[in-house]
């Protein structure tokens, strides 16, 4: 009854204890206690205290302390004629010691008498055990181990030898708690925290040692061949060699599908807030384009091309086994990522069936590992700076331009009512030469912004319990004033082996993020003519000088009082507004996932898991009177106003899988998986707003005093049930086969279309194992693989199969009445979108891993496209969800890794990858030959299409008129009275030939030669898709230094620089809204500067404000994305520091240091309207900052 | 251990076999589906009132401020002071405004169809059910009437769209569409309430409205392009029915009529049917009426709570001004053509347009600088200093019915006394001299034949009904649209005031009698056909 199993002990002490004895000891006659507890205990203790202090984390873990007398408890006992057990019992009762012993070894007959008063426990035990065959050890403050005496038990005639050594893993890290046993004998040892063991053996008998450690392959070593260091090989294998493939892992060599593994270590060298900002160029087949450079800006990740025209093309994320469709990537702390895989082809993603069509990103986060607590501290501080500036016209050029645009008004203002005489005008204009002009770019994003990021983690465990606890704080201020992003995160995971058959674990993360400040891309009202309400547009367009000549007041006042006394100009002082606007986007994300694993038999394992992902988002916007949208002016009926929304989404997943794993006749390996999963997702949203808020000083809280808007309350839900199965078979790792079948049922579809089946098959042939390859010794490993399969997509909103009634209020007879109307058209016949995919790949490793490469070619065809298809207006609806159309994507991917130099002090490795993808529209909505893509940004242009998806062509082609310079005098006949009339043989770009065009007007190409520009003259003018994208990483190490250089590129894509439609095109506007222009516009056509590029001021817009090709630019770029230089302390130095730290790395890293491009906008890495139809659009985006980072990583 | 085994097995069995069918059945929780509606009279009524939003829908309402309705400029009354867009004859089949107008018409036709399919569902009083059915029938017919008068041949859909497939629909001839319009309206006339029915809300259609619109429909059918002259008889009969019912009358004061409109005081005797707008009353928001910032009011470029805020967008054509010049006592001249605008920060500062032009010649030349003055914001009760105006817009006025009556009578029987008397009603109210068919002493205009009376009617309609969305279609049905617009262009030159606007008028072609079928319809409905010339 006083026998304590280690399990019980661990319960008593909160967590796992220490030792050695387990149920297997039952038959042991002798227990050899090792000197696990070496002499320098105190020192260790101090270090541990240090560790904990630094960590500021209190965690109960087992600790091994010395059993030296001074730290012992004293005890008083009076026992007469009792069994020895009774003594132990009494000591346990009176102290906090617990005894560990084996009943069998206690002499049951023997009775003891003892009477002591306040004696050391050890003294008591010495006396009690003196007459027995037993000894004891006190390995910790609370445990006493009773064991049989070894040496004295029998006379020892044979030579005894003490052997010792060290046990490490493949990375050379010490393994604590590994066991070294003599084969066939119950004699063994366990390693200490340094992986060291000591064992006395009988040289004559003990020939073979068995070295084992949970999770590692057991090794048998002949004593005679024993080396001082034994390296155990992980069964899970090194993560570098294992690929997570969804519901399981495979060895990289045995992969039969197209999966890209991102080098997480390289990824983590980039000093960024979220992994997606560093993902571009890291792996093949994945295209990553961020919308712009704003902290927390969404990043568009597309795997192997867009499948869907109108629906979301982002991949499915599986984070620690938990599928999430649209996670906020900012919630995932890059430092917490352990491995990152991208499943690309259908044979890989089919196991995620329903939602795998856009590819799957598998993210595994860091967990606890066996070993002592390992404390890691990472800190970085960056300085972000926007170096790019668009050159704008100076005050003199501005006034000159205004005069050309609108002489009457300019005479009355900037030219101070001088008589209309060229000489006088010139002299007044010259005054403006002395003004420098207000620089709004400098004011709005001229200041360097700091970014700090701290990670602190503690991980460790024993072979039964593993834990991980980590925290993160990141604060990235935006380069634009009053903007930024913050993240606070706590993460905890625990894996516990409950019994030899049962294992359980939990993994949870709590993240709070806070994004604040104006968002330039979404800052404007796209309906407004001129698009001037966007932040960057108003930064560029705001007048550089007032006609009173005062620049300071321009910067410091909301509007130019001289020109705009009533504050009704479309453009408001952007600096002023940005400083005063209040935008908050707070998000609390709780992610918790737990599992139970039960080994039913040796080969059969059941795993049950359940998780919840809860996200609460609160958005707040408040516009006080000092902002563009809240100003007190006749044009703003809302006055001071604000709005908020609160949304809560709860995603609950349950997955149950059964895995059968066996090897037959040594060579036939079989792994069978069957599973059942279900998932539900509920989103509830509340929103409210108020206008004309009387007390703006109260901010958001003042909304309750304003005039309330109609509150919004919404809720939606979807569920998914799936059955999945997979068979993986290989013969000698030479012929490998995988087949999977998944059935999914989604609540989004009506009963008859709920279920869909997604099969896949793949095979691989590792021909390097064939005999004929023996001659080619340099080939270490080579494999060819082929896979095909189908996957699905259900990315439509939850209730699109239902028609809806829209409701509202309309005035009838002077009062507002509640009304209903038809809203959207449901489609009960809607079904899953299916992607069929073929992939052929080859993986080759040469010269023992010095060089390895992978090539994949694929073709995927997506049919039954879930399309929000436009409907003819006569149907009463303009769009409805249909399964229609077909898109194909073909591509080639190539990646190569080389170990160029591997010397003791110097290594150089290179990773290069390149991807090609071509999409093709095979079919479109009923009868359609093409579909237009529209971009909302400017009321003048919104109704003209800028993109076209045409049958037989690529997605994302830009569409418009071909520019042909500007009309010159030579295009006109001049009448004797000086009137210019367009020559008969010259095409007009306007609907007339008389009033327009005039010399300097915009000239477009008349493609069909009918003498007039009509809609028929539009053509493809650009392509938003790159020919290829890729990246190259070079890593160098020299002694303790390491250098990592990462270049990333995109080649052959065009960007529609819509900024230039506004800022190199002096269109007439009311005097209030006269915009400043780009500096380049000084080279516009004028009678004295008859250039053939940019139109004159006030050129007259061609009908319909058509898009023309002049501003299509080559968006190719090569970017030095990350450059990092690090220095790590050598093991020697660490030793000198007496193990105060286990590792220390300091580094300097830069992000976006250099970009080679011909693009004239802020940044070629831009996608302001990220949909499949509209890639490569640039208007008023947030500039991307260049960052310089200093960081430190320390391990304790 | 054994218990644990049992536990795990039972958990697995539970999870695997619990009812996944129920789990997968989700129902919308934040919107209503049409199938679940029309349960009672209240729900039927909310759906009917929803049909009226066709006219005032925010953004696309068929009579909302700056909407396209009928009203593709320029006409010989008014033009928009800009050089591109749907108002400047630069539009083509890709024009978004025309596309939106088309979509809006069909959206509400579909709503009417859905309403008519469901109206038998609610348990309610059968008379009231028929009233609702009548209104829906009429509204559908009226929207078809707008469509075919603008676009000619259009798809004629009498059932609601149930599926996203099978949406290709062939175009019916304008003749067939008109036939359906007549059929539905006549049916509606027998169902809807009379104008004085106690429960009737003022903007909902009454028998009198249906009759008046029937007169208009028949007049359109009698003219270009159908030229079914026999319809003059029907037009006359329907108009006569309105008059004989003796429930409508002209307001004795022409200006008071517009002040009533501005004040939202329903003057149903004359303003038989109005599209209703309402000043924004948070949290509700509806589209602005034509009185608003971008509307037909008197320019006041600085916002002001006394006189509102109106941009200087719409200008008077020479012809309209000329028409009033024939009778200097016509009080409509200085009302419909605002002689002043508001200048400076103080919106009350009325500035005479003429005072800016010092010589008589300049005053004639610059008459086109003036703004329409019918809709005057300063009379609005709620006068927010913003762009949105709650002023209603008249769709049918009794004055129009009288003039239609006169016109049909003249076409049938020549300038009879009945016809001349009808015409004189609006003239007398406006303070003009009467027309006479004989050489009486008081005679001012002598009417001798059918054609001169027709011209008199054409001018009188313009003087009385200008800016009420009827001019362009009047010109088209009279077959004089193109020539009238070209003649207007010439007036810029004859007035020696050639601005860029004269060339805008000059763009008119024969094809402009019809609007182009929008690109979305053409590319998505493979049975669609484009109008000639586009």
CB A332 within 8 A of CB A591: no
What local confidence, expressed as pLDDT, does residue B153 receive? 96
Which of A214-228, A231-245, A907-921, A1114-1128 has the least mean pLDDT? A231-245
- Which comes out higher in pLDDT, residue A919 or A412? A919
Structural contact between residues A181 and A377, judged by C-beta atoms closer than 8 angstroms: no
The mean pLDDT of A1160-1180, rounded to a whole number, is: 84
The structure tokens listed for A421 are 């005489």
Residue A1092 touches chain B, beta carbons under 8 Å: no
Considering only residues 192 to 211 of chain B, which have any Cβ-Cβ distance to chain A shorter than 8 Å?
Answer: 201-204
Q: pLDDT digit string (tens) for A889-900?
A: 999 999 999 998
Interface touch A814/B4, C-beta < 8 Å: no
Is 90 exceeded by the pLDDT of residue A1182? no
CB A1004 within 8 A of CB A963: yes
Got the DSSP string for A60-95? ---------GGG--EEEEEEEEEEHHHHHHHHHHHS
Calpha distance A627→A535 (Å, rounded): 12
**A·B CB contacts under 8 A:** 277
**Nearest residue of B to residue A816, measured between CA atoms:** B284
Q: A681 pLDDT exceeds 80?
A: yes
CB contact under 8 A, B24 and A747: yes
**Between A656, A819, A992, which is nearest B50 by CB?**
A819
Q: How buried is A478 (Cβ within 10 angstroms: 0-12 exposed, 13-18 middle, 19+ buried)? A: buried
Phi then psi for residue A150, to 5 deg, are -85, -60
Q: What does the pLDDT average to over A904-917?
A: 91
Predicted local distance difference test score (pLDDT) of residue A7: 43
- Residue B388 and residue B376 in contact, taking contact as beta carbons nearer than 8 Å: no
Mean confidence (pLDDT) of chain A = 81
The answer to whether residue A1138 scores a pLDDT higher than 50 is yes
Residues of B in contact with A927 (CB under 8 A): 168, 523-526
Min Cα distance A811 → chain B (Å) is: 6
Touching check for A713 and chain B: CB below 8 Å? yes
**pLDDT band at residue B41 under the 50/70/90 scheme:** very high
The tokens of B479 are what? Answer: 């077959």
Q: Specify the pLDDT at position A914.
A: 93
Give the whole-angstrom CA distance, residue B140 versus residue B53.
Answer: 13
What tokens were used for A1?
Answer: 């009854």
- Kind of pairing, strands B78-80 and B314-316? antiparallel
The answer to whether A1087 contacts chain B (CB < 8 Å) is no
Q: Tell me the chain A residues in contact with residue B276 when contact means C-beta distances shorter than 8 Å.
A: 810-813
Chain A residues touching residue B388 (CB < 8 angstroms) = 637
pTM: predicted TM-score of the whole model, two decimal places: 0.75
Relative to beta strand A143-148, strand B154-155 is unpaired
Distance in angstroms (rounded) separating the CA atoms of residues B265 and A1001 = 51
Nearest to B111 among A608, A680, A822 (CB): A822
Write out chain A residues lying below 8 Å of B521, CB-based: 872-874
At residue A532 the predicted structure's pLDDT band, cuts being 50, 70 and 90, is low
**Residue A537 and residue A1075: Cα distance in Å, rounded?**
9
CA atoms within 13 A on the CB side of A885: 28
Interface contact A976, partner B, CB < 8 A:
no
Interface-testing mutation among B15, B24, B205, B266, with chain A (most A C-beta atoms within 10 A): B24
Integer Cα distance of B303 and A543 in angstroms = 23
For the segment A272-279, the average pLDDT, to the nearest whole number, is 77
**Looking at the predicted structure, is the pLDDT value of residue A57 above 50?**
no
**Residue A255, pLDDT score:** 78
Mean pLDDT score, A850-873: 88
Residues A352, A336: contact at Cβ < 8 Å? no
pLDDT for the residue numbered B140? 97
Q: How far does chain A reach from its first CA to its final CA, in angstroms?
A: 41
* Closest-CA distance of chain A to residue B277, Å: 6
CB contact under 8 A, A502 and B4: yes
Write the pLDDT tens digit of every residue in B78-113.
Answer: 998 876 677 888 787 877 789 889 999 999 999 999
The tens digit of pLDDT for each residue in B202-259 reads 889 999 999 999 999 999 999 999 999 999 999 999 999 999 999 999 999 999 999 9
- The verdict on a CB contact (< 8 Å) between B95 and A1104 is yes
Of B16, B20, B345, the CB nearest to A656: B16
Place of tokens 């050029």: A397
**Dist. CA B255–CA A1067, nearest whole Å:** 41
If you average pLDDT over each of A6-20, A541-555, B223-237, which comes out highest? B223-237
Beta strands (DSSP E) in A732-832 are: 735-746, 755-765, 779-793, 805-812, 815-822
The end-to-end CA distance of chain B, in Å, is 84
What's the gap in Å between the CA of A686 and the closest CA on chain B? Answer: 12
> Quick check: B261 pLDDT over 50?
yes
* Residue of A566, A715, A1015 lying closest to B94 (CB–CB): A1015
| Helix pair angle (B398-413, B417-429), 10° resolution | 150
B90 interface with A at CB cutoff 8 Å:
yes
* The pair of three-digit structure tokens given for residue A298, joined into one six-digit string: 């969404």
Coil, strand or helix: which one is A549? coil
Q: Among B16, B106, B303, whose Cβ lies nearest the Cβ of A876?
A: B106
- Give the count of alpha carbons within 13 A of A68, CB side only: 9
For A520, A560, A582, A692, the CA distances from A639, given in Å and listed in that order, are 22, 20, 15, 4
CA angle B175, B180, B185 (to 5 degrees): 125
Contacts of B153 in chain A (CB under 8 A): none
| Alpha-carbon span A914 to A912, nearest angstrom | 7
Please say if the pLDDT value at position B15 is more than 50.
yes
Question: What CA–CA distances, in Å, run from A194 to A169, A176, A468, A1195, B289?
Answer: 12, 7, 20, 15, 84
- When pLDDT is averaged across residues B127-154 and rounded to a whole number, the result is 96
Q: Which of B59, B344, B524 to mutate to test the interface with A (most CBs of A within 10 A)?
A: B524
Q: Supply the ipTM of this predicted assembly.
A: 0.89
Cβ of residue A598 closer than 8 Å to a chain B Cβ = yes
What is the structure's pLDDT at A6? Answer: 41
For residue B335, the SS3 value is helix
Alpha helices in B415-499 (DSSP H): 417-429, 450-465, 471-477, 481-494
Of A280, A331, A275, give the one whose Cα is nearest residue A303: A280
pLDDT band with cut points at 50, 70 and 90 for residue B285: low
Question: DSSP 3-state assignment of A807?
Answer: strand
Distance CA(A834)–CA(B296), nearest Å, equals 54
∠ CA A85-A91-A93 to the nearest 5 degrees?
100
Q: Rounded to whole angstroms, how far apart are CA atoms A77 and A119?
A: 9
Interface probe for B, chosen from A648, A874, A929, A933 (most Cβ of B below 10 Å), is: A874
- What is the percent of chain A with per-residue pLDDT over 70, rounded to a whole number? 87
Tens-digit pLDDT profile for residues A395-413: 899 988 988 888 877 888 8
Whole-Å CA distances, B20 to A416, A721, B15: 79, 7, 9
CB contact under 8 A, A822 and B160: yes
What would the pLDDT profile of A328-386 be if each residue is shown by its tens digit? 777 788 888 888 888 888 778 888 877 777 888 888 888 888 778 889 999 989 898 88
- Beta strand A360-365 pairing with A316-319: parallel
pLDDT number for residue B481: 95
Buried b (16+ CB within 10 A) or exposed e, B66-88: bbbbbbbbbbbbbbbbebbbbbb
* Binary contact (A872, B24; C-beta < 8 A): no
pLDDT of A154 over the 50 cut:
no
Q: Is A927 on the interface with B (CB under 8 A)?
A: yes
- Which of chain B's residues have a Cβ under 8 Å away from the Cβ of A674? none
- A499 CB within 8 Å of a chain B CB: yes
**Residue of A872, A979, A1015 to mutate, interface with B, max B Cβ within 10 Å:** A872
Chain A contact set for B52 (CB, 8 A): 810, 812, 819
Chain A touched by B56 (CB under 8 Å): yes
Percent of chain A with pLDDT over 90: 23
Cα–Cα distance for residue pair A729/A670, rounded to 1 Å: 5
Q: In this complex, do A877 and B110 lie within 8 Å of one another by their Cβ atoms?
A: yes
pLDDT score of A52: 39
Q: Which residues of A touch B53 (CB under 8 A)?
A: 808, 810, 819, 821
Hey, are the CB atoms on A871 and B524 less than 8 Å from each other?
Answer: yes
Chain A: nearest CA to B1, how far in angstroms? 10
Nearest by Cα to B249 from B223, B275, B226, B267: B267
- Label residue A139 by pLDDT band (50, 70, 90): low
Torsion of CA A385, A387, A388, A394, to 10 degrees: 110
Please name the member of A714, A808, A820 whose beta carbon is closest to the beta carbon of B30.
A714
CA of B110, closest CA in chain A: separation in Å? 5
Is it the case that residue A2 has pLDDT exceeding 70? no
Beta strands in B198-251 (DSSP E): none
Q: Is there a contact between B37 and A805 if contact means CB atoms under 8 Å apart?
A: yes
Tell me if chain A has a CB within 8 Å of the CB of B493.
no
Helices A395-405, A422-431: inter-axial angle, 10-degree rounding: 140
3-state DSSP assignment of residue A879? strand
What's the pLDDT band for A573 if we cut at 50, 70, 90?
confident
Contact criterion met (CB < 8 Å) for A656 and B169:
no
Query: What pLDDT, on a 0 to 100 scale, did the predictor assign at position A65?
Result: 31
Range A699-704 contact pairs with CB under 8 angstroms and sequence separation of 24 or more: A699/A582, A699/A622, A699/A624, A699/A642, A700/A582, A700/A620, A700/A622, A700/A642, A700/A644, A702/A642, A703/A622, A703/A642, A703/A643, A703/A644
Reply yes or no on whether the pLDDT at B364 is more than 90.
no
Query: For the residues A124-129, what does the mean pLDDT come to?
Result: 80
DSSP letter string over A111-141?
EEEEEEEEEEHHHHHHHHHTTSSEEEE--SS
CA dihedral B281, B283, B286, B288 (to 10 degrees): 50
Q: How confident is the model at residue A685 (pLDDT cuts 50, 70, 90)?
A: very high
């Amino acid at each position: 009854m006083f026998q304590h199993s280690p399990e019980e002990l661990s319960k008593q002490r909160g967590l796992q204890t220490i030792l050695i004895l387990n149920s297997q000891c039952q038959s042991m006659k002798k227990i050899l206690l090792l000197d696990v507890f070496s002499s320098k205990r105190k020192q260790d203790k101090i270090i541990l205290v240090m560790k904990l202090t630094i960590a500021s984390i209190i965690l109960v873990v087992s600790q091994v302390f010395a059993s030296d007398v001074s730290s012992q408890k004293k005890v008083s006992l009076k026992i007469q004629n009792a069994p020895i057990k009774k003594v132990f019992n009494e000591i346990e009762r009176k102290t906090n010691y617990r005894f560990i012993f084996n009943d069998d070894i206690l002499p049951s007959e023997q009775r003891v008498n003892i009477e002591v008063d306040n004696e050391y426990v050890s003294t008591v035990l010495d006396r009690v055990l003196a007459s027995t065959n037993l000894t004891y050890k006190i390995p910790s403050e609370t445990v006493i181990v009773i064991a049989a005496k070894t040496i004295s038990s029998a006379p020892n005639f044979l030579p005894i030898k003490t052997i010792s050594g060290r046990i490490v893993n493949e990375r050379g890290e010490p393994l604590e708690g590994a066991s070294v046993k003599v084969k066939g004998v119950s004699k063994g040892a366990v390693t200490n925290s340094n992986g060291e063991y000591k064992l006395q053996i009988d040289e004559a008998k003990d020939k073979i040692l068995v070295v084992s450690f949970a999770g590692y392959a057991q090794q048998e070593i002949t004593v005679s061949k024993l080396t001082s260091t034994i390296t155990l090989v992980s069964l899970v294998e090194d993560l570098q060699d294992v690929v997570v493939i969804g519901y399981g892992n495979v060895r990289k060599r045995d992969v039969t599908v197209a999966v890209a593994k991102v080098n997480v270590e390289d990824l983590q060298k980039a000093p960024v807030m979220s992994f997606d900002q560093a993902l571009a160029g890291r792996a093949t087949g994945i295209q990553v384009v961020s919308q712009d450079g704003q902290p927390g800006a969404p990043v568009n990740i597309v795997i192997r091309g867009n499948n869907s025209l109108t629906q979301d093309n982002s991949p499915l994320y599986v984070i620690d086994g938990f599928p999430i469709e649209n996670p906020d990537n900012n919630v995932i702390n890059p430092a917490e990522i352990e491995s990152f895989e991208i499943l690309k082809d259908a044979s890989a993603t089919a196991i995620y069936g329903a939602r795998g069509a856009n590819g799957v990103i598998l993210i595994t986060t860091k967990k606890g590992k066996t070993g002592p607590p390992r404390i890691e501290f990472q800190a970085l501080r960056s300085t972000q700076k926007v170096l790019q500036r668009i050159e704008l016209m100076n005050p003199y050029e501005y006034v000159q331009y205004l005069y050309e645009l609108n002489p009457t008004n300019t005479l009355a203002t900037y030219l101070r009512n001088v008589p209309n005489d060229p000489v006088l005008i010139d002299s007044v204009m010259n005054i403006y030469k002395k003004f420098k002009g207000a620089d709004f770019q400098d004011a709005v994003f001229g200041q360097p912004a700091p970014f700090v990021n701290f990670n602190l983690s503690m991980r460790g465990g024993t072979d039964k319990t593993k834990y991980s606890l980590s925290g993160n704080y990141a604060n990235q201020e935006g380069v634009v004033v009053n903007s930024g992003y913050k993240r606070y995160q706590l993460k905890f995971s625990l894996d516990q082996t409950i019994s030899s058959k049962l294992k359980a674990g939990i993994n949870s993360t709590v993240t709070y993020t806070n994004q604040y400040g104006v968002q330039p891309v979404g800052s404007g009202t796209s309906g407004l003519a001129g698009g001037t309400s966007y932040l960057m547009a108003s930064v560029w367009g705001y007048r550089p000088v007032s006609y009173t000549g005062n620049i300071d007041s321009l910067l410091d006042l909301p509007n130019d009082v001289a020109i705009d006394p009533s504050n009704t100009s479309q453009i408001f002082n952007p600096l002023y507004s940005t400083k005063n606007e209040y935008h908050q986007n707070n998000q609390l994300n709780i992610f918790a996932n737990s599992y139970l694993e039960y080994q039913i038999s040796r080969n059969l394992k059941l795993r049950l898991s359940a998780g919840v992902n809860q996200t609460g988002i609160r958005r707040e916007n408040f516009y006080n009177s000092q902002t563009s949208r809240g100003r007190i002016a006749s044009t703003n009926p809302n006055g001071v106003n604000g709005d908020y929304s609160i949304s809560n989404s709860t995603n609950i997943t349950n997955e149950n899988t059964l895995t059968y794993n066996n090897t037959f006749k040594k060579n036939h390996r079989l792994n069978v998986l069957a599973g059942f999963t279900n998932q539900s997702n509920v989103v509830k949203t509340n929103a409210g707003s108020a206008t004309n808020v009387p007390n703006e000083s109260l901010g958001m809280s003042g909304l309750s005093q304003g005039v309330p808007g109609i509150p919004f309350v919404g809720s939606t839900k979807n569920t998914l049930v799936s059955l999945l199965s997979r068979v993986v078979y290989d013969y000698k790792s030479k012929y490998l086969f995988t087949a999977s079948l998944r059935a999914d049922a989604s609540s989004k579809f009506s009963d008859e279309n709920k279920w869909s089946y997604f099969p896949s098959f793949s095979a691989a042939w590792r021909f390097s194992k064939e005999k004929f390859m023996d001659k080619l010794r340099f080939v270490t490993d080579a494999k060819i693989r082929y896979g095909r399969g189908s996957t699905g997509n259900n990315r439509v909103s939850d209730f699109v199969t239902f028609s809806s009634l829209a409701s509202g209020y309309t005035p009838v007879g002077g009062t507002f009445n509640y009304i209903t109307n038809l809203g959207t058209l449901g489609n009960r016949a809607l079904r899953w979108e299916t992607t069929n995919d073929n992939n052929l790949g080859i993986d080759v490793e040469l010269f023992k891993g010095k060089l390895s490469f992978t090539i994949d070619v694929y073709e995927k065809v997506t049919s039954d496209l879930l399309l929000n298809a436009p409907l003819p207006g006569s149907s009463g609806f303009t769009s409805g969800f249909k399964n229609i159309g077909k898109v194909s994507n073909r591509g080639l991917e190539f990646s190569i890794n080389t170990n160029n130099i591997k010397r003791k002090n110097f290594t150089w490795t290179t990773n290069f990858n390149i991807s090609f993808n071509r999409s093709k529209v095979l079919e479109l909505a009923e009868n359609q030959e093409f579909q237009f893509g529209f971009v909302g940004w400017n009321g003048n242009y919104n109704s003209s299409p800028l993109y076209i998806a045409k049958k037989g062509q690529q997605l994302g082609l830009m569409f418009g008129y071909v520019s042909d310079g500007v009309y010159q005098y030579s295009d006109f006949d001049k009448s004797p009275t000086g009137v210019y009339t367009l020559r008969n043989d010259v095409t007009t770009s306007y609907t007339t030939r008389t009033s327009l065009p005039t010399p300097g007007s915009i000239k477009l190409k008349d493609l069909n030669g009918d003498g007039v520009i009509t809609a028929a003259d539009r053509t493809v003018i650009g392509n938003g898709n790159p020919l290829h994208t890729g990246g190259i990483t070079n890593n160098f190490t020299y002694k303790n230094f390491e250098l990592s250089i990462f270049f990333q590129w995109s080649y052959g894509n065009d960007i529609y620089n819509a900024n230039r439609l506004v800022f190199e095109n002096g269109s007439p506007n009311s005097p209030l809204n006269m915009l400043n222009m780009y500096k380049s516009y000084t080279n516009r056509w004028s009678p004295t500067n008859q250039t053939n590029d940019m139109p004159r001021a006030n050129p007259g817009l061609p009908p319909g404000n058509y898009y023309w090709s002049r501003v299509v630019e080559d968006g190719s770029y090569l970017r030095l994305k990350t450059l990092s230089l690090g220095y790590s302390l050598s093991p020697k130095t660490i030793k000198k520091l007496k193990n105060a730290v286990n590792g220390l790395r300091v580094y300097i890293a830069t992000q976006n240091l250099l970009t080679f491009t011909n693009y004239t906008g802020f940044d070629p890495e831009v996608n302001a309207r990220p949909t499949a139809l509209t890639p490569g659009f640039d208007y008023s985006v947030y500039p991307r900052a260049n960052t310089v980072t200093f960081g430190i990583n320390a391990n304790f | 251990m054994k218990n644990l085994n049992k536990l795990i097995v039972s958990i697995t069995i539970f999870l695997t076999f619990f009812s996944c069918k129920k789990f997968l059945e989700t129902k919308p929780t934040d919107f209503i589906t049409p199938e679940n509606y029309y349960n009672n009279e209240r729900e039927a009524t909310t759906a009917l009132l929803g049909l009226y939003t066709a006219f005032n829908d925010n953004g696309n309402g068929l009579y909302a401020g700056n909407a396209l309705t009928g009203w593709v400029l320029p006409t010989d009354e008014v033009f928009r002071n800009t050089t591109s867009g749907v108002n400047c004859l630069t539009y083509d089949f890709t024009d978004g405004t025309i596309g939106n107008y088309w979509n809006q018409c069909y959206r509400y036709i579909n709503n009417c169809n859905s309403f008519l399919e469901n109206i038998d569902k609610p348990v309610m009083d059968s008379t009231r059910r028929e009233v609702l059915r009548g209104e829906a029938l009429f509204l559908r017919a009226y929207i078809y009437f707008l469509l075919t008068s603008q676009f000619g041949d259009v798809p004629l859909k009498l059932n609601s769209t149930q599926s996203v497939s099978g949406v290709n629909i062939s175009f019916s001839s304008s003749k067939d569409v008109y036939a359906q319009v007549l059929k539905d309206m006549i049916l509606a006339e027998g169902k809807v309430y009379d104008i004085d029915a106690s429960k009737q809300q003022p903007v909902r259609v009454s028998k009198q409205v249906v009759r008046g619109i029937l007169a208009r429909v028949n007049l359109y059918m009698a003219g270009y392009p159908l030229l079914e002259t026999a319809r003059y008889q029907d037009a006359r009969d329907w108009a006569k029915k309105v008059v004989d019912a003796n429930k409508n009358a002209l307001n004795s004061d022409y200006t008071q009529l517009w002040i009533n409109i501005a004040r939202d005081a329903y003057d149903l005797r004359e303003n038989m049917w109005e599209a209703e707008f309402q000043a924004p009353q948070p949290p509700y928001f509806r589209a602005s009426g034509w009185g608003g910032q971008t509307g037909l009011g008197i320019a006041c470029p600085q916002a002001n709570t006394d006189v509102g805020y109106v941009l200087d967008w719409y200008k008077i054509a020479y012809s309209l001004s000329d028409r009033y010049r024939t009778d200097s006592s016509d009080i409509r001249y200085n009302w419909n053509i605002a002689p002043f605008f508001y200048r400076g920060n103080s919106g009350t500062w009325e500035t005479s347009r003429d005072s800016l032009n010092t010589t008589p010649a300049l005053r004639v030349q610059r008459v086109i600088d003036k703004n329409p003055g019918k809709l005057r914001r300063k009379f609005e009760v709620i006068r927010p200093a913003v762009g949105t105006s709650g002023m209603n817009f008249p769709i049918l006025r009794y004055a129009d019915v009288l003039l239609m009556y006169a016109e049909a009578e003249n076409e049938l029987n020549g300038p009879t006394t009945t016809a001349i008397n009808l015409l004189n009603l609006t003239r007398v109210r406006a303070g003009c001299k009467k027309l006479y068919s004989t050489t009486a002493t008081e005679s001012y205009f002598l009417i001798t034949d059918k054609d001169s009376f027709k011209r008199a009617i054409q001018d009188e309609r313009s003087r009385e009904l200008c800016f009420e969305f009827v001019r362009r279609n009047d010109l088209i049905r009279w077959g004089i649209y193109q020539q009238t617009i070209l003649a207007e262009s010439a007036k810029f030159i004859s007035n020696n005031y050639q601005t860029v606007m004269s060339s805008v008028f000059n763009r008119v072609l024969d094809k402009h009698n019809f609007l182009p079928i929008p690109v979305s319809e053409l590319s998505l409905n493979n049975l669609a056909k484009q109008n000639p010339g586009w």
